[in-house]
């Protein structure tokens, strides 16, 4: 259990640390993700946990989002399909899954109050789609609303989002809960569809409900629905759980390693340097081989049963590969360590360099500042490649990073945040006991500035999603922007050929399905798996559309020389876009191209299908005159003006409230007051007491300190009650910020009502 006076961020009931969802998504493997969910559901049940607060399916809009390691993909189909498998696995064990964060939580800066400004089409096609898929396919027992506002309305108060879309349109049957501290106004949230505020906030919450009832804002029907959904969840958890299964700790650990093996992505393998023989004349360099970066920091932090580093794995197998630390994980570096590493590299035939981000670099509550690895690692890799031409880099990262030395190393193996068995899995992959056959679930751009959302990301309260539907590969492929590694990319220790593309029909009418078949052959000498990816490319249209969109995928495992026919099914609706004029899915008639291959940049097979429309009289929106930038296909960049975005958004862009507010209230932040003398003094005091009561030390203390700092500075004052602070304290802080000192003192002297 958490230590006294601790946030619990780094101390909790010991459990298995599985690979993060950013790693798991690279498996493209529904069965493997189901197994993960099944294991998590069983382990949660054994620990007395009723609801697992996962999976997160928020779209990776920008590579610097601090919480990207918790999310699956930039692609809504991949995220939705894998989330569905995860949910089914968790709930097969009688544990509730909680699909989150609903919706458009795509940055951590001021996440509890920022406003995601998204045009309706992008919202439907990109940001809501994974939730829609998961609700249709897996029916999670709970869904968690996000902290942020969506087009000006807090998601916990968004009746269109919670009730009209999720319940009435998609058929969601479960319970809506808030994120922790995500309740702004109960009198608005409960009628909108929110059933449960988390965590409980004592009499303060009760008083807010009673106030809403007395005013008539909350009706008896609203309360009956909310309480009824909660009672139904309790009954389901108690009555529908299967009998206990014979899961052992070793089984969970085996699943964790299996996931790590199935999720690794081979990014480069020049001259087939990998896999290595066990007797390789190898040097192991990098502190991450000794102290791995295996999970992100924040509320998802797991207190692992054990962690197997790469050095642990070497010792277990008595492999005598020499090790040099090379660098430290802190800010201060030891030049002697670097010199020792270079000298060791000079004496060996090849080098295994363990590189990656640090625990402090990837965390909930704050965003990354850049895409770079720590400077000490990049510098050391450059020095080592100057004395040894056979360098293999093993990457531990939950998000894309820049690789300035990529051309100088022979091989790069991305293991991601691989969980507690990261070292053992890495050794098996490097020795060829397992074949790394994962595929990137997000595009790796050359720089953060390449992302089409970059100018509108971070450091602002109102985030304009000016790129609209051009997210990830949808942008890079359509505008022909070069990338380091494309979506869906991944090498292997074997080779494959894909041929014999066939369709079961030449035209497709509403209500009909299309079957696409393709043959895959393992043409190499090792067993391995390949992911067949089917993209749809639309005909020319008055509406701007991505050049290609993933609409089906399948992973196949083949022995050397083995072949298999893969059958992929498309529905008529897979060819549709969201028509904002009709507020409906609209499939234009025309010849659509089907592109089949093994990544978004490698689709050698192509066929055409004539698709009939589902709405013969429908008008297609046309922005060629009001927003021509969206049609600049192939130009290498998407630059959207405020005027163009307003045309697509369909309304004036809401202002971004910067600077001190005229009046501080419970939704204000200490960040608002960062320039004022009162704000600076109060921030020092609050940080002193907040950090003292929240931190418990431990392995992730530096990351936790930044999380606590962000929670104090960027979160609304109302959220302070999450730390057990009486509501009168943030109310008094607001009064002090407004210069009302005596009123603040009276407020603090009031009898505590919480």
The verdict on whether 499 is a catalytic residue reads no
Q: How many CA atoms lie within 13 A of 587 on its CB side?
A: 22
Ramachandran quadrant class, 333 (left: phi over 0; alpha: psi -120 to 50; beta: rest) = beta
Taking residues 307-324, what's their average pLDDT? Answer: 96
- Supply the DSSP symbol for 449: G
Query: Which of the following is catalytic: 75, 119, 179, 359?
Result: 179
Instruction: Spell out the domain ranges in the chain.
Output: 21-239, 265-435, 494-622, 677-749
Taking residues 201-230, what's their average pLDDT? Answer: 93
Q: Is the pLDDT of residue 702 over 90?
A: no
- Write out the E strands in 377-479: 391-396, 411-414, 462-464
Band the pLDDT of 614: cuts 50, 70, 90. very high
Is the distance from CB of 69 to CB of 399 less than 8 angstroms? yes
Encode pLDDT of 715-733 as tens digits.
899 988 887 788 899 999 9
Taking residues 639-663, what's their average pLDDT? Answer: 90
Residue 16, pLDDT score: 96
Determine the 3-state secondary structure of 310 from DSSP.
Answer: helix
Q: Is the pLDDT of residue 245 over 60?
A: no
C-alpha dist (Å) from residue 406 to 263, 403, 415, 484: 21, 5, 16, 10
Cα(286)–Cα(311) distance, integer angstroms: 11
> Which residues contact residue 725 at a Cβ distance below 8 angstroms, ignoring those fewer than 6 apart?
none
| Higher-confidence position of 607 and 320 | 607
Superfamily of domain 21-239: Glycoside hydrolase, family 3, N-terminal domain (3.20.20.300)
Q: Is the pLDDT of residue 372 over 90?
A: yes
Residue 254, pLDDT score: 96
Residue 721, pLDDT score: 84
| Higher-confidence position of 498 and 726 | 498
CA 664 centroid distance within chain: 33
Q: Is the pLDDT of residue 608 over 90?
A: yes
Residue 101, pLDDT score: 98
Global pTM? Answer: 0.95
Encode pLDDT of 458-472 as tens digits.
877 889 999 999 999
- For residue 376, what are its two tokens? 């000490």
Residue 4, pLDDT score: 41
Taking residues 287-306, what's their average pLDDT? Answer: 94
Is the distance from CB of 103 to CB of 161 less than 8 angstroms? yes
Band the pLDDT of 712: cuts 50, 70, 90. confident
Domain 21-239 identical in fold to domain 265-435: no
| Chain position carrying tokens 């005091």 | 685
Architecture per CATH, domain 265-435, reads as 3-Layer(aba) Sandwich (3.40)
> Which residues contact residue 446 at a Cβ distance below 8 angstroms, ignoring those fewer than 6 apart?
402, 482, 483, 484
Determine the 3-state secondary structure of 342 from DSSP.
Answer: helix
* Four-point Cα dihedral 265, 269, 273, 275, nearest 10: 20
Q: Is the pLDDT of residue 631 over 70?
A: yes
> Which residues contact residue 179 at a Cβ distance below 8 angstroms, ignoring those fewer than 6 apart?
100, 101, 144, 145, 146, 147, 198
Question: Which helix H or strand E contains 591, and what residues bound it?
Answer: strand 590-597
Residue 3, pLDDT score: 41
Encode pLDDT of 168-195 as tens digits.
999 999 999 999 999 999 999 999 999 9
Residue 242, pLDDT score: 62
Q: Is the pLDDT of residue 269 over 60?
A: yes
> Which residues contact residue 647 at a Cβ distance below 8 angstroms, ignoring those fewer than 6 apart?
623, 626, 627
Encode pLDDT of 87-108 as tens digits.
999 999 999 999 999 999 999 9
Determine the 3-state secondary structure of 495 from DSSP.
Answer: coil
State in words which class domain 494-622 has.
mainly beta
- Supply the DSSP symbol for 125: I
Query: Closest by alpha carbon to 123, among 98, 155, 86, 147?
Result: 155
Encode pLDDT of 521-572 as tens digits.
999 999 999 999 999 999 999 999 999 999 999 999 999 999 999 999 999 9
Mean pLDDT of the chain: 93
Q: Classify burial at 739, counting beta carbons within 10 Å of its beta carbon; exposed 0-12, middle 13-18, buried 19 or more.
A: exposed
* pLDDT-wise least confident of 227-231, 381-385, 590-594, 684-688: 684-688
DSSP string, 346-389: HHSSEEEEEEE--GGGSBTTS--S-SPPPHHHHHHHHHHHTT-S
Residue 8, pLDDT score: 52
Taking residues 593-598, what's their average pLDDT? Answer: 98
Taking residues 119-124, what's their average pLDDT? Answer: 98
Peptide bond into 199 cis (omega under 30): yes
Band the pLDDT of 751: cuts 50, 70, 90. confident
Cα(276)–Cα(290) distance, integer angstroms: 20
Query: Closest by alpha carbon to 82, among 531, 607, 731?
Result: 531
Cα(193)–Cα(221) distance, integer angstroms: 11
Cα(394)–Cα(391) distance, integer angstroms: 10
Q: Is the pLDDT of residue 220 over 60?
A: yes
> Which residues contact residue 146 at a Cβ distance below 8 angstroms, ignoring those fewer than 6 apart?
58, 100, 101, 102, 103, 104, 105, 155, 179, 182
Residue 246, pLDDT score: 52
Query: Closest by alpha carbon to 651, among 641, 664, 642, 659?
Result: 642
Taking residues 232-242, what's their average pLDDT? Answer: 85
Cα(442)–Cα(74) distance, integer angstroms: 5
Three-state secondary structure of 133-171: HHHHHHCCCEEEECCCEECCEEHHHCHHHHHHHHHHHCC
- Write out the E strands in 380-512: 391-396, 411-414, 462-464, 496-503, 507-508
Q: Is the pLDDT of residue 509 over 50?
A: yes
Is the distance from CB of 410 to CB of 392 less than 8 angstroms? yes
- For residue 425, what are its two tokens? 């899995």
C-alpha dist (Å) from residue 696 to 6, 8, 93, 537, 700: 4, 7, 33, 53, 10
Residue 753, pLDDT score: 60
Q: Is the pLDDT of residue 10 over 80?
A: no
Is the distance from CB of 424 to CB of 405 less than 8 angstroms? no
Taking residues 492-518, what's their average pLDDT? Answer: 98
Q: Is the pLDDT of residue 292 over 80?
A: yes
């Amino acid at each position: 259990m958490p230590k006294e006076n601790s946030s619990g961020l780094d101390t909790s009931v010991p459990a298995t640390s599985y690979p993060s969802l950013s790693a798991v998504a690279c498996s493209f493997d529904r069965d493997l993700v189901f197994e993960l969910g099944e294991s998590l559901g069983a382990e949660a049940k054994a620990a007395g946990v009723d609801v697992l607060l996962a999976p997160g399916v928020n779209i990776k809009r920008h590579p610097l989002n601090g919480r990207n390691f918790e999310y699956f993909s930039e692609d809504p189909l991949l995220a939705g399909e894998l989330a569905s498998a995860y949910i089914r696995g968790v709930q097969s064990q009688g544990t509730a899954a909680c699909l989150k964060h609903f919706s458009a939580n795509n940055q951590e800066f001021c996440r509890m109050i920022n406003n995601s400004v998204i045009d309706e089409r992008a919202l439907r096609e990109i940001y809501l789609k994974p939730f829609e898929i998961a609700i249709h396919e897996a029916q999670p027992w709970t869904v968690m609303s996000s902290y942020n506002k969506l087009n000006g309305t807090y998601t916990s108060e968004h009746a269109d989002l919670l009730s009209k879309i999720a319940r009435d349109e998609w058929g969601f049957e479960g319970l809506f809960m808030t994120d922790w501290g995500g309740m702004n106004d109960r009198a608005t949230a409960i009628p909108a569809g929110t059933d449960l505020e988390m965590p409980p906030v004592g009499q303060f919450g009760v008083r807010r409900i009673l106030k809403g009832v007395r005013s008539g804002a909350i009706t008896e029907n609203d309360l009956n629905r909310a309480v009824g959904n909660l009672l139904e969840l309790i009954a389901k958890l108690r009555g529908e759980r299967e009998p206990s299964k014979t899961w052992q700790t070793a089984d969970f650990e085996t699943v964790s390693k299996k996931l790590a093996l199935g999720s690794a992505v081979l990014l480069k393998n020049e001259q087939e340097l990998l896999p290595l023989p066990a007797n390789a004349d190898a040097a192991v360099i990098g502190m991450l081989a000794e102290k791995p970066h295996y999970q992100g920091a924040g509320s998802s932090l797991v207190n692992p049963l054990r962690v197997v580093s790469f050095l642990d794995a070497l010792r277990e197998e008595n492999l005598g590969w020499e090790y040099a630390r090379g660098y430290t994980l802190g800010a201060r570096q030891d030049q002697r360590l670097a010199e020792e590493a270079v000298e060791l590299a000079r004496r060996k035939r090849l080098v295994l360099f363990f590189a990656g981000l640090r625990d402090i670099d990837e965390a909930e509550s704050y965003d990354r500042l850049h895409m770079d690895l720590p400077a000490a690692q990049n510098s050391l890799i450059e020095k080592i490649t100057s004395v040894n031409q056979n360098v293999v880099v093993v990457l531990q990262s939950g998000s894309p990073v820049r690789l300035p030395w990529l051309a100088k190393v022979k091989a790069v193996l991305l293991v991601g945040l691989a969980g507690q068995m990261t070292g053992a899995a890495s050794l098996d992959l490097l020795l060829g006991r397992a074949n790394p056959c994962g595929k990137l679930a997000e595009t790796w751009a050359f720089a953060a500035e390449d992302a089409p959302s970059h100018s509108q990301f971070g450091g602002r309260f109102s985030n304009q999603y000016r790129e609209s539907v051009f997210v990830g590969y949808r942008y890079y492929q359509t505008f022909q922007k070069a990338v380091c590694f494309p979506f869906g990319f991944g090498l292997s220790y074997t080779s494959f050929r894909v041929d014999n593309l066939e369709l079961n029909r030449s035209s497709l009418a509403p209500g009909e399905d299309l079957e696409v078949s393709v043959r895959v052959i393992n043409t190499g000498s090792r067993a391995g798996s390949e992911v067949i990816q089917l993209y749809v490319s639309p005909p020319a249209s008055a509406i701007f559309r991505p050049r290609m969109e993933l609409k089906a995928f399948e992973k196949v495992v083949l022995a050397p020389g083995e072949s298999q026919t893969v059958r992929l099914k498309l529905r008529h609706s897979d060819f549709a876009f969201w028509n904002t004029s009709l507020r409906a899915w609209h499939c234009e008639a025309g010849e659509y191209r089907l592109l089949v291959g093994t990544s978004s940049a490698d689709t050698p097979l192509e066929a055409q299908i004539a698709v009939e429309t589902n709405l013969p009289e429908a008008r297609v929106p046309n922005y060629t005159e009001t927003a021509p930038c969206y049609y600049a296909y192939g130009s290498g960049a998407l630059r959207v003006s405020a005027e163009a975005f307003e045309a697509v958004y369909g309304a004036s862009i809401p202002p971004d409230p910067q600077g001190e507010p005229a009046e501080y209230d419970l939704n204000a932040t200490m960040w608002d007051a960062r320039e004022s003398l009162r704000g600076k003094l109060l921030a020092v005091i609050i940080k002193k007491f907040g950090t003292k009561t929240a931190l418990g030390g431990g392995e992730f203390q530096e990351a936790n300190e930044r999380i606590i700092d962000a929670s104090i500075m960027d979160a609304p004052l109302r959220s302070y009650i999450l730390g057990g602070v009486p509501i009168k304290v943030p109310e008094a802080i607001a009064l002090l910020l407004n210069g009302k000192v005596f009123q603040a003192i009276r407020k603090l002297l009031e009898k505590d009502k919480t």
